[in-house]
Every structure is written in C-alpha cells, then in structure tokens.
Amino acid sequence: MRLVENARESPVDDREFTVRFWGVRGSIACPGPQTMRYGGNTSCVEVRAGGELFIFDGGSGLRLLGEALMKGGHPHEFDLFYTHTHLDHCHGLPFFAPCYDPRNRIRVWAGHLKPENDIAAVLGSMMSAPLFPIPISIFNAKLEFQDFNAGEPLRPHNRITLQTNSLNHPNRATGYRLEYDGRALAYITDTEHVPGTLDRNILQLVDQADVMIYDSTYTDEEYPAHKNWGHSTWQEGVRLANAAKVKTLVLFHHDPEHDDVFMDAVAAEAAKVRPGTVVAHEGLILRL
C-alpha cells in the first residue's frame, strides 16, 4: 500500500485500487483552526477500483467530493453505500452536486433498514418539511435505491464483490468488504465492541484485508464513559487488525472533541503499538 499526501492536487488513476478520504469525523462536523490538519467534515470515503467509482457514506465530506466530480464536466455513474442513516452519515446528500445533473446515474445502497423501512423513504424524510426546504424529487440525476439485508453479498459490477455484515450500533449499521483483483478493502465504522471479545462479524470482513478502515472514535481510557454510545476505540482496531492479519489499519471517525494535537498523540502511540497504522485525514489517498 502507498500513501499519497496533498490528495486534492494528486490525480487518481482509475485503473488502480485507491481510497480517498473526504470526511473523517463522526457525530458532527467540527471545522475550525484546531482541526485543520485532520479535517472537520463527517464520514465520506471515495473508492476507485477497476475503473468504477464507489462512495461510502454521505456525510458533510460528500459536498466536497461532489464539487470535484463536477469539475470534470462529464457524466458519472457510481454507487453510494451507506453504513447507516444517522445524520452525520447522510446529511451531505442534499448538497451533492452530481444529484442535480440529469446525465448522472447513482445507485444508492443500504443494508440496515429492512424490513421496517427503506433507504429512499428515509432520505426522502430527511429532505422534507420542516427539516429541509426542498424535497428529494428535485434531484435530476437517475437515482436507483437498493435495500439489502446486512450479511448478503453484493455484486455491483462483474469484477467487484462486496461482502457485508451487521455492526453493533443503535438503529443498526452495515460493514463492507470490497474485493477487487485479489485485494481487499474493509470499511468498518459506527460499531461498538464488547471488551475482551473480538467481534466475529468484523473479523469475517477484515480477514487479511489490505486496508481496514475502523471506527476509532475513542481511546480505551475514554470508552467506559461512552459505553452503549455505539462506537469503538483505536486500540480495539489494533486488536482486530492483529487477529485478522490486516496489512494496514486506518483509524477513522474521529471524535469532534479530538483536535489536531490530540490526534497527533494518537498517531504517535498507534505507530508504536502497530507500525504502519494510518490516521485518516481529509485529502489522504491510499493506493493499494
């Protein structure tokens, strides 16, 4: 795996397997001078594999990704996968410019809502009065909504497979493993661990993955005060990565209270405990 800094100035070769971070925070966006280096936007990750574009989660970072996509001036077809639909993971959608271009085709996926609800209805509720001034019907792009049950395998394209599994989070969430050309990326965020027990659902998704992106909201020291909040720690990420023989662990979904100085300390400690661990920041590109 290769890291590329200054991502907004670095072109992405669509023939490669790449991961690009547009939002790395959890809970609420926290822009400001104390979060400039790691970024303040909420979850949004761009993946390109086999010439296809995949987006994981639509937090506030989705707006920036949309701006970048529209600069190309050509139509797009891609898949948007939600881990879940808490606001910090979906509130970027109304501000996602590709949704307003009729030339684009967007497939929207979610595995946590059946049988009680569906992704189209939930996103439509978010964009409805009195919460939002314009309805989802204003979108001009061709939108397709695909609900599935977490645990089902997905095959959005011939050469690409996604394995899915349930995560331990209020109102449920879905973890993903994207496999392409003998390489694997695992996206595991918004999940709470049980101290002393490694989550079997997660171990299945991250087994020998090239890159594992993990919910590292807290430290082990902070966790007891946030039990049942639905999030994990960077140290638990290390334990899972070691057990599953993951190549590169990426710490993600940073607490908004953790400023750049705090994150620097986490990065230093994680590098000692598991050399090669990466702390995600906006603009970072990983090439598998």
- 2-287: CATH topology: Metallo-beta-lactamase; Chain A (3.60.15)
Question: Rg for the chain (alpha carbons), in Å?
Answer: 18
pTM: 0.95
CA distance 201 to 168: 9
Q: What is the pLDDT of residue 22?
A: 98
Where does the pLDDT of residue 276 fall: very low under 50, low under 70, confident under 90, or very high at 90 and above?
Answer: very high
Q: What is the pLDDT of residue 10?
A: 42
Query: What residue segments make up the domains of the chain, in order of their start?
Result: 2-287
Mean pLDDT of the chain: 95
CB-count burial class (<10 Å; 0-12, 13-18, 19+) for 12: middle
pLDDT tens digit sequence for 181-235: 999 999 999 999 999 999 999 999 999 999 999 999 999 999 999 999 999 999 9
pLDDT tens digit sequence for 220-242: 999 999 999 999 999 999 999 99
Residue 12 has pLDDT above 90, yes or no: no
**How far is the CA of 287 from the CAs of 42, 134, 208, 210, 236, in angstroms?**
22, 38, 17, 10, 24
pLDDT tens digit sequence for 257-272: 999 999 999 999 999 9
pLDDT tens digit sequence for 112-164: 999 999 999 999 999 999 999 999 999 999 999 999 999 999 999 989 999 99
Q: What is the pLDDT of residue 25?
A: 98
Q: What is the pLDDT of residue 233?
A: 98
DSSP one-letter code for 25:
B
Q: What is the pLDDT of residue 3?
A: 60
Q: What is the pLDDT of residue 2?
A: 62
Query: Minimal CA–CA distance to 117: which of 154, 88, 145?
Result: 145
Strand segments (E) across 148-197: 154-157, 160-167, 173-180, 183-188
Query: Minimal CA–CA distance to 176: which of 158, 189, 160?
Result: 189
Q: What is the pLDDT of residue 11?
A: 46
